[in-house]
Structures are given as C-alpha cells and as structure tokens.
Amino acid sequence: GENVEQHPSTLSVQEGDSAVIKCTYSDSASNYFPWYKQELGKRPQLIIDIRSNVGEKKDQRIAVTLNKTAKHFSLHITETQPEDSAVYFCAARGSNTGKLIFGQGTTLQVKP
C-alpha cells in the first residue's frame, strides 16, 4: 500500500545551524508533496510544498528537494531559530485515492 517513511523522529540543533528532515514514499505515481509544521496545541500549518515536475523549491530559510528516481524528498531549514521548534510532517499525495499519506513526524528542537 501507500506509505511514507520519515527520518529522523527527533532532531536537536543549535540556533543558527541547519536542519534536514528526509522522507521516502512508496507510490511512484505520487505527484504532490507538502510539508506541515505543527506547534504544540496548534493546527498543522503548510510551510512549503513541491510538485513532481519540480526538483527544488525555496522560500526564504526553507527549501524542499525532490528526487523522483529515488522516491525521496527532503526539507531543509537554514539558520534555525527557536521558533522553528515544532513537529514537522511530510506527506505524499497518493495517485490512486488522492489522499495525503503522512510521515510519522519529526520533532525539531532548536536550542538557543
């Protein structure tokens, strides 16, 4: 079935360092890959997304890269700040059902 694996499950970095979260998907026909940030007690918030016809997308300190051959996509956060601390979820849109298949989440802690 459709599956998304996300690593690492927890990530701790010093303020100003970079953070990278990686996801692998199983459905080779998936064509849409969003990333959500969820702060404690808040809603999942879309922070960046990428479609299968693009290899990389940037938005200020956040970037996402997609390798369709390897069925792999990654979130890169540069110059991390304490307010980046949250749980991050990757997802892939399944080609058969159109459902978003979520990864298990990464808890990012940015230490001041």
Partner 1 sequence: DTEVTQTPKHLVMGMTNKKSLKCEQHMGHRAMYWYKQKAKKPPELMFVYSYEKLSINESVPSRFSPECPNSSLLNLHLHALQPEDSALYLCASSLSGDTQYFGPGTRLTVL
Q: Which residues bind partner 1 (CB under 8 A)?
A: 32, 34, 36, 42-46, 49, 87, 89, 91, 93, 97-100, 102-105, 107
> 21 forms bridges with which residues in the sheet?
75
CA distances from 108 to 12, 18, 39, 88 (A): 6, 11, 10, 7
Output 58 or 99, the one with its CB closest to partner 1.
Answer: 99
CB of 7 or CB of 18, closer to partner 1: 7
- Nearest distance, CB of residue 74 and partner 1, angstroms: 18
Euclidean distance between CA atoms 33 and 89, whole angstroms: 11
Least separation in angstroms between residue 46's CB and partner 1 is 7
Least distance to partner 1 from the beta carbon of 45, Å?
7
Distance separating the N- and C-terminal Cα atoms of the chain = 41
